[in-house]
Amino acid sequence: MQSKDKILVVGGYGQVGRVICKDLGNKFPGNVVAVGRNYDKAEQFTRTTNGKVIPLEFDVFADNNNNNILEEISVVVMCLDLNDTRFIEQCIDKGIHYVDISASYSFLSKIMSLDEKAKASGSTIILSVGLSPGLTNLLVQYSKTQFDVLHRSDIFVLLGLGEEHGKAAIEWMVDNMHTTFEVSENGYKKQVKSLEDGKATLFSENFGNRIAYRFNFAEQHFLPVTLDIKRVSHRICFDSRLVTQSLAAFRKLGILNLLKLKPLRNAAVKMFENIQFGSDAYVIKVDSSGKKDDKITEFKCSVIGRNQSEATGKVAAVITESIYIKKHPSGVYHIEQIFNSSDIIDRLSEHIKFHTYDK
């Protein structure tokens, strides 16, 4: 009988996956498997871990995979956007736990429909893991503790363009630049467009006041339900004001609709992969308002750090370690339904700076 003690990181040599593999490989040497479609790349990466991480070629979309590997797996960490839930259902059938770092609302909704199946098989499925979604969810959870009733939370993310962002992350971003999506405000549905409806916030001393624009990150759709909040919005900007303002202007003029054409979309992905200016800093910030002691009040907090891929990987590694070593309830959950913001922020204190703002 094979022992079920391995952690399978799909996309394990990508920008985020390699951070997860390295952290978990140091803790559980020989039990972490980094997979992707190219064995040479997997092997080249795992050599940098002194053999603590094992390389494997595995295409998660292929029908002819040798799924015997799943017999040895305790937890799967998914570091790419899937199209359908077939692979996740295979994991659930085998009682494997599953962690997903996707920011895609439509796909995470599909995984949520597997809740009953996961409960029946004893699998714990954790969604919204990473920086955004992930730490942003935990900042909203933390903010909620500052009120008797939390009415609204506005999430802001500032991304540095100087970092080497992974291709899968850039593709997700580019594919969402021209979308229209629905948000829920005070129980009413409202259509909003990505990169429109700018709102200003003070990010940090360094970055100052910036206007950020709507973007279809998953957490703004789930948090109203998981934390019972009437309004949650999500906006992004880049460290370069010029790039942020140009994208907002292109969106207004309809130019970003051209990204629906595959050659132009691929060219935009290439351009963002090659951008070499700006910093590798990021800021995630949550501005909230609600009622405390019968008065309407505000609370603002943020996390500041460098290298969003690394931060995403660090969060995912901490969550995966917990799922690997401890029994958690079976079923499908978002990070904020199982984990406590203060615990996770404490555990990441070497890598991130948590900050609250004076009123």
Ligand X SMILES: NC(=O)c1ccc[n+]([C@@H]2O[C@H](COP(=O)([O-])OP(=O)(O)OC[C@H]3O[C@@H](n4cnc5c(N)ncnc54)[C@H](OP(=O)(O)O)[C@@H]3O)[C@@H](O)[C@H]2O)c1
Which residues are near ligand X by CB under 6 A? 10-11, 13-17, 35-38, 41, 58-61, 79-81, 101-103, 130-134, 165-169, 172, 309, 312
Question: How far is the C-alpha of 321 from the C-alpha of 34, rounded, in Å?
Answer: 15
Which tokens belong to 43? 């092997």
**How near is the Cβ of 138 to ligand X at its closest, in Å?**
12
Q: 58 vs 299, which CB is nearer to ligand X?
A: 58
**How near is the Cβ of 140 to ligand X at its closest, in Å?**
14
**How near is the Cβ of 289 to ligand X at its closest, in Å?**
25
Q: 97 vs 147, which CB is nearer to ligand X?
A: 97
**How near is the Cβ of 254 to ligand X at its closest, in Å?**
25
Q: Find the length of the chain.
A: 359
**How near is the Cβ of 159 to ligand X at its closest, in Å?**
10
Q: 150 vs 335, which CB is nearer to ligand X?
A: 335
Q: 79 vs 183, which CB is nearer to ligand X?
A: 79
Which tokens belong to 74? 């305790």
Q: 152 vs 167, which CB is nearer to ligand X?
A: 167
**How near is the Cβ of 295 to ligand X at its closest, in Å?**
34
**How near is the Cβ of 32 to ligand X at its closest, in Å?**
15
Q: 37 vs 260, which CB is nearer to ligand X?
A: 37
Q: 23 vs 290, which CB is nearer to ligand X?
A: 23
**How near is the Cβ of 307 to ligand X at its closest, in Å?**
11
Q: What is the 3-state secondary structure (H, E, C) of the chain?
A: CCCCCEEEEECCCCCCHHHHHHHHHHHCCCCEEEEECCHHHHHHHHHCCCCCEEEEECCCCCCCCCHHHHHHEEEEEECCCCCCCHHHHHHHHCCCEEEECCCEHHHHHHHHCCHHHHHHHCCEEEECCCHHHHHHHHHHHHHHCCCCEEEEEEEEEEECCCCCCCHHHHHHHHHCCCCEEEEEECCEEEEEECCCCCEEEEEECCCEEEEEEECCECHHHHHHHHCCCCEEEEEEEECCHHHHHHHHHHHHCCHHHHHHCHHHHHHHHHHHHHCCCCCCEEEEEEEEEEEECCEEEEEEEEEEEECHHHHHHHHHHHHHHHHHHCCCCCEEEEHHHHCCHHHHHHHCCCCCEEEECCC
Q: 302 vs 312, which CB is nearer to ligand X?
A: 312
